Chain A
Amino acid sequence: MGFDGMLTSGKMGMNKRKSERTSTGTKTTPAERNIPPVLQIDDLSIHTRADSSGKRLVRNLNLTIQPGEMVALIGESGSGKSVTASAVTGLLPAPLSMSGGRILFQGRDTATLTSPERRAMLGKEISVVFQDYAGSFTPFIKIGKQLIEMIRRHMGWNKTTARVLATQALEQVELAAERVMDSYLFQLSGGQQQRVAIAAALMLEPDLLIADEPTTALDTLTGETILQLIDSLRHKTKCAVLFISHDLHHVIKRADRIAVMYGGEIVESGPTDVLVREARHPYTRFLLQSRMDLADVPARLQSIPGEPGAVSACGCPFALRCPVRIARCDSEAVPEMMVSDGHTARCHLIGEAQGDLGAAEITRTS
């Protein structure tokens, strides 16, 4: 376990609670202070082909991230969340392409960037931490060399200065910097590898960190320390985070806002506490329900019906699995509807009593 265990008792873990409150705080939101959002995704669609003839992976997605904010994008595998992240970085794998909408980073349409401009932005203003930590650095080159390479690429510093920053960055994630600098990636443990990836991602103090399931491939304990690390470092560097996960429970504790994806659509989004209290979409309610305290209601716990990932071609994507479906759900597309301030959902039954989702009922409704 080595370094992984040290963080929980480390000082970073201790003093972070306070700053967390201020960013989600009650006084003024960045929007009210008239600061443009870090990331604004409008009506994004992604298809498997260049024109819109291919399979649609993401449809009409809207998402905004304010400076310093942590937004979680939740969904099953195949729901389009990672593809959305790739679209933001401009690193969509070859057959996929954006077929509609726009992505504004710091108010600038990323589609207008030339590819050198995009590359200059990546790593410096937008950083990515991948799920596959073993593939986060080239296995043939020592880590130190790759960190220095990255710093010099963006900052144009000499080797010595770059080395100082790289060392500091590794110390920030509580690694034995000198030893790690002189190691190849495969010589480190999984948790250590992910720490190096986080160190690299936050080293140049980007405005946005995209964390694409950074803990999925790690064991629970290591994953938890990695999450704490991201959380504390984002407060330190005032970096906004787009946190992608398939696990709602993982993010409730830390995200300021949550967006739930199903079948390429954001079916519901809102501030974390609001969403937890008054989820309106049946899918979100299922997700929350499966989180409920096991000791209280073991009998009521149930999984979401239907085949995971089954997406209805027209109408509501969740229609095939929804227990409260009505006729309209199969045919009629659902517009994004405002539930309350900042809380939106896409469900025809949003205003109506959806009633029981099956064996269990939602206990903590307000």
Chain B
Amino acid sequence: MAGFINRYAVWIGLGVWLLLAVMTLLGPYLIPHDPLAVDMGKRLQTADATHWLGTDHFGRDVLARLVAGAKITLGLTLVAISAALLIGVPLGLLSGYVGGVVDAAVMRVVDALVAFPDFIIAISIAGILGPDVTHVVIAIVLVKWIGYARVVRGTVMTEKGKAYVLAARVAGTPGVKTIFRHLLPQALPEVLVLAALDMGKIILMISALSYLGLGAQPPMPEWGAMLNDAKMMFQTHPVLMIYPGVAIFLVVLGCNLLGDGLRDRLDARGEW
């Protein structure tokens, strides 16, 4: 079992993401229910032919909400990770390649933020700006770019001194070209692994904050927020908390498998 997982980690991880993408794209066509349509006459129904997973306390179709939640999760995570990459990678390249004052400035900010528990930063920002899922994404980006800046900076610093980079410099290759041709590809494996693992953490963070009521607000069918709803009825309708929980678990597991598998394949470092 475990050996199987080791071997196919990357594919299982990619499979989960593919499933998520398919659900996002095709879900609305396959499921004939509006995830937000309240129907108090059909509250808390058990699964049947029309509502495959039943309905919640507002009579909304659970499957439709789960699928809509997939879209939200996918979207928010991709936005957050892209923004973190777009800030962290260039800053890391710049900081490592230029060095000096630029490096010192970037690293001071990194040091100040890194001493700080990311969940606490996220909570503070969500708290200060008010409970909203956009604020959660902002907080995540603010926290997560650091990792990429550090990884890229580290690689650039070690690669910069190597003969082939010096040769390129001596040959008069422009700095930008050296960076993109030689340095960035070197940092890519670790960045990829980190990004895959971070996606799992981001999903957990978004759903946790939403669960706490600090992220996605009702009636948005975000999985963590759905769990918050389900919590109220967990004694009478425990199934309602199974679905979003399992959904979060599977997607995060997919990310971790992907990151793990990539690390093994690309021979990069990084831990959960």
Do A and B touch each other in the complex, judged by CB within 8 A? Answer: no
